[in-house]
Structure 1
Amino acid sequence: MPARARLADENVDFMSLMSEANRRRVLGKSTPVVYPAGTLLFREGDPARVILIESGLVRVFRTVPDGRQATVAFLRTREILGASLIVSDPPWVCAQIVIDSTITDLDVKTLRNVASTHIQVMTAVATQLAALVRNAHRLVALRSLGNITQRLAYDLLERACQSQLEMGRLDAMVTQEGLAASIGSSREVVSRAMKGLRAAGIIKTTPGVVRVVDPVRLSDTVRAFLRPT
């Protein structure tokens, strides 16, 4: 599989798809900013932004009026969010900083102008958008087709991220019985999977609470399903 296709299915290093000259054009006078874990970077309906994740982990999610949330993507270092704004309407999503992250806001007008005159930049935008679509499809499929550890990892990360917004900690307030019911398994099977995650240093547990110690590695477990064979 060509390098670009592999990147599109996994972690798109957006800037690496362009020449140095085009990278300078895209970045312009943008300045990176460090955001602490737990920051809600923007909400649905906020002024549209295109952000480059210089380093870190960002959760992208949708909400409904009753407060429920659904994760649509976990974005990693060198990916961008908001690429659809370059060619169409902005994404109607929220963005959460899961770990301390360095973010660069790209100037939308500049990016549109550069993309309209440099096919390499437009190709990079299209590659990022295609990756988001493919990975969103796989994220939906994971809930029923992933193995126990992958489904458990997604469930824990989803719960912990929601808790982080409310309490400032990546704590999933749930029992093993609750997790088993959520992912369609048994308590015994979930217990074995949790033991593996604890042994790997990814989570810590106390009665009724699962603390996510290493959200990046937990998201790696989720992305293992997203990665094509």
Structure 2
Amino acid sequence: MAWVARAPGLPPLDPEARALLDRLTPMAAPAGTVLFHPGDTVKGFVVMLSGRVDVYLTGASGRELLLYAVEPGQSCVQSTLGLMGGDDYSGEAITRTACELVLVPRDTFLRLMDLSDAFRHFVFAAFAQRLQSMMHLLDRVAFQRIETRLAQCLLDRAAGGTLHATHAEIAVMIGSAREVVSRRLDALARRGIVTVERGMVRILDPETLADIAQSTD
């Protein structure tokens, strides 16, 4: 089956637009692959077929913040901005899992934007959704307490009640510092809400953790 037919979120396209995409070949990227660095020129629009890519922003202090994740049907706002506005990447993208993706070169992307109403709508809809998620991130980092963000992160990312991540990785997820996360996790552990082991946090009391996540105090 041609990759266009199995690309999540990609709408039905007219024959000319589909022919342009059918010429492109999917690529595999193992987990841990760096797709772009800050300052790199944007080379194309990424269509995710499977897997997950995390996009980070690194401050002058060296502290990282997870801006967003790109999964099938979603877009990378940095790529779209670069293709349409000419800016270089300001963040770094790393595959979190093994991925299959297609890179639509700049020239092909711009031609498709002019040629296909369906493709243009797909790009702008995914772009708007991504901007909305980044507004939510800004709200959390700017206005929510560390405890609230940490509790919500644990609830969202734990699988089977356990989050496999280091304190430094959790800090990146919530836009904080490793030392702060370590102190907050120790406090939760003393209350019997979680247990903390090397590279792992196990949730013992999800109800209380949910209350903390919803707290506005």
TM-score category, normalised to shorter length: 0.5 to 0.7
Extract unaligned runs of 5+ from structure 1.
1-11, 164-173, 196-204, 213-224
Q: State the SS of the aligned residue for 1:15.
A: coil
**For 2:139, what is the secondary structure of its paired residue?**
helix
Counterpart of 1:149?
Answer: 151
Aligned residue identity for 1:149: A
Superposition deviation, residue 133 in structure 1: 0.7
Alpha carbon RMSD of aligned pairs, Å?
A: 3.8
- Tell me if 1:58 matches 2:71: no
User: Which has the larger Rg?
Assistant: 2
Within the alignment, does 1:178 sit opposite 2:178 as a pair? no
Distance 2:183 2:9 in 1: 36
Q: TM-score, normalised by structure 2?
A: 0.65
Query: Cα distance 1:27–1:69, how it changes in 2: closer, same or farther (>3 A)?
Result: same
Amino acid in structure 1 at the alignment position of 2:63: R
Matches within 5 A, 1:1-229: 13-16=8-11, 18-19=12-13, 21=15, 24-25=18-19, 27-49=21-43, 50-81=45-76, 82-90=79-87, 91-143=89-141, 144-145=143-144, 149-152=151-154, 159-160=168-169, 178=182, 180=184, 187-188=187-188, 194=194, 206=197, 209-211=198-200
8 Å contact kept, 1:43–1:95: yes
Deviations 1:24-76 (A, max 9, x none): 24524221111111111110111313211111111111123442221111111
Show CA shifts across 1:95-128 (max 9, x none): 0101111121111101101111222222211111
Contact 1:33 1:102 in 2 (8 A): yes
CA contact (8 A) 2:47 2:103 kept: yes
Q: Percent identity?
A: 15
User: Under a length normalisation based on structure 1, what TM-score does the superposition of the two structures give?
Assistant: 0.62
What's 2:209 paired with?
A: none
| 2:199 aligned counterpart, secondary structure | strand
Matched positions, count: 178
Secondary structure of 2:169's counterpart equals helix
Gap regions ≥5 residues in structure 2: 1-6, 158-162, 173-177, 202-213
The CA distance in 2 between the partners of 1:175 and 1:99, in whole Å, is: 27
- Please state how far the C-alpha of 1:177 moved relative to its aligned partner: 6.6
Q: Distance in 1 between matches of 2:85 and 2:37?
A: 19
Change (3 A) 1:134 1:158: farther
Residue 99 of structure 1 aligns to a residue in which SS?
coil
